[in-house]
Amino acid sequence: MTRNDKTLGEVTIFDVAREAGVSYATVSRVINNKDHVRPDKRERVLRAMTRLGYVVNQQARSLAGGKSQVVGLLVPGVDSGYIGEIIRGVDEELTNASYDLMLYTSHQRKTRESTYVATLTQGLADGLLLVLPRAPGAYIETLRQRRFPFVLIDHQGIDEQGPSVGATNWQGGYDATNYLLTLGHRRIGFITGALDLRCSTDRLAGYQAALEAAGIAFDASLVMTGDFMQPQGYSGAHALLMLPNRPTAIVVSNDVMAFGAMEAVRENGLRIPADISIVGFDDIPQASHVHPLLTTIRQPLEEMGRVATRMLLELIANPADEAARIELPTELIIRSSCRSLM
């Protein structure tokens, strides 16, 4: 039999078994990455699958009572180093566990997010990883009632009992601001992330706490609302620079917006750090390649992906396990985008 004898959708596991000259059980063990298959037989099965164009029907396999060996990953987009580093950690852990990754991007659309979650839970995936979900309230309770394994990444506070992995966002906001205070800065601007996300409000709260600890009154005019996208970093910094008494430093809630802020500073004829200091948040790979090199708060993004994936695989294997909530430590990374005023 050749691939031309059957259409792609008609090829079955029994066809593969006949083509390879092995039993149906042997083909099943190969497909499910099980042990106890002789190397020569495994090779014959894989070659037969290639010749016939056989593709595993993950949904049918799941509905038949097995595991799909697939984890769904829902992200807002794939256009930033932040997401890329998390995906790197997720992918490596899944590869080690012989799982496949099914990636969906919501582009920050709440209705699309809910639709994708519904699709993935209909037998396509054994569990879900949700990075910065925007509308988890619409489906978290349903996932819990169905005992469908899921883990939230970088979105504390939405589901206080649910499994999640994040970073010490409050401490990161505090450390960024306190570093500038130790350099002698007293008028420090702040550009927030999207304020419907707990990580954003935590970073803002850390900024406020550092000012309070230094005896500096909070000035709302120095806070600009952003959305984690570069244009908002640019517009927020431009607005701060237009103030009659402009800040001498700006804390930006992620590196991507910090790049926009740096562009705004240069377009206003100012120098970094001679005229204004900037601190970012995340420490994505690009932060160590811009000019000047960006001082930032490092989130262990790849490790967050790894830890969340290991947590999810444990929940898939043991659904009765109690959900864990893990916060990994942030770290101040000092480079050359800040200067001392003392």
Among 128, 119, 130, 124, smallest CA distance to 148 is for 128
Rounded Cα gap, residues 210 and 120, in angstroms: 42
C-beta atoms surrounding 244 within 10 Å: 5
- Residue 57 has a pLDDT of 60
Task: Estimate the crossing angle of helix 255-267 against helix 81-96, to 10 degrees.
Answer: 160
- Residue 39 has a pLDDT of 85
Assigned token pair, 248: 């001498």
- Residue 124 has a pLDDT of 80
- Residue 263 has a pLDDT of 98
Helix (H) or strand (E) holding 234: helix 230-241
- List, in sequence order, every residue forming a beta bridge with 229; answer none if it has no partner: none
How would you classify residue 326: left for phi > 0, otherwise alpha for psi between -120 and 50, otherwise beta? beta
C-beta atoms surrounding 335 within 10 Å: 17
How would you classify residue 4: left for phi > 0, otherwise alpha for psi between -120 and 50, otherwise beta? alpha
Per-residue pLDDT of the chain (342 residues), as tens digits, is 444 444 445 677 788 888 999 887 788 777 766 667 888 888 888 888 888 877 666 555 554 455 778 899 999 888 788 999 999 999 999 999 988 898 988 876 666 777 888 877 777 889 999 998 876 777 887 788 888 899 999 875 555 667 899 999 999 999 999 999 999 999 999 999 999 888 999 999 999 999 999 999 999 999 999 999 999 999 999 999 999 999 999 999 999 999 999 999 999 999 999 999 999 999 999 999 999 999 999 999 999 999 999 999 999 998 888 878 899 999 999 999 999 998
Q: Which residue has the tokens 């499994």?
A: 163
- Residue 259 has a pLDDT of 98
Q: Which residue has the tokens 């790979």?
A: 285
Rounded Cα gap, residues 182 and 171, in angstroms: 16
C-beta atoms surrounding 321 within 10 Å: 13
| Residue 111: exposure state from Cβ atoms within 10 A (0-12, 13-18, ≥19) | exposed
- Residue 73 has a pLDDT of 93
Residue 252, CB half-sphere, CA atoms under 13 Å: how many? 38
- Residue 144 has a pLDDT of 82
Q: Which residue has the tokens 């038949």?
A: 64
Residue 245 CB contacts under 8 Å (≥ 6 apart), including other chains: 187
Q: Is the distance from CB of 173 to CB of 329 less than 8 angstroms?
A: no
- Residue 33 has a pLDDT of 65
C-beta atoms surrounding 33 within 10 Å: 12
Q: Is the distance from CB of 8 to CB of 32 less than 8 angstroms?
A: no
